[in-house]
Amino acid sequence: MEMDEERLMQMEEQNKMLKEKLASRLRFEAERTEEPLQLKDSGEYIYCLQRNRNNFKAPYNPYDLQPVSTNTAMQKEEYWTVSASFVAKFSSCHKIGETEIKPVLQWLQERQLYYRLLNLNFFSNFRMKKYFLVWKTNARRSKINKTESI
Q: What is the pLDDT of residues 134-148, one digit of tens each?
A: 999 999 999 998 888
Question: Alpha-carbon distance 63 to 66, whole Å?
Answer: 10
C-alpha to C-alpha distance for 130 and 99, rounded to whole angstroms: 32
pLDDT digits (tens, 9 = 90+) for 18-67: 667 666 666 666 565 555 555 577 788 999 999 988 888 888 888 999 99
Q: Determine the pLDDT at residue 29.
A: 61
**Could you tell me if 46 and 82 are in contact, meaning their C-beta atoms sit under 8 angstroms apart?**
yes
Among 48, 40, 44, 53, which Cα is nearest to 88's?
48
Q: Please tell me the predicted confidence (pLDDT) of residue 23.
A: 65
pTM over 0.75: no
Q: What percent of the chain has pLDDT over 70?
A: 79
If you count them, how many residues does the chain have? 150
Beta bridge partners of 93: 96
pLDDT mean over 75-85: 90
- Is 78 within 8 Å of 111 (Cβ atoms)? no
Largest CA distance in the chain: 76
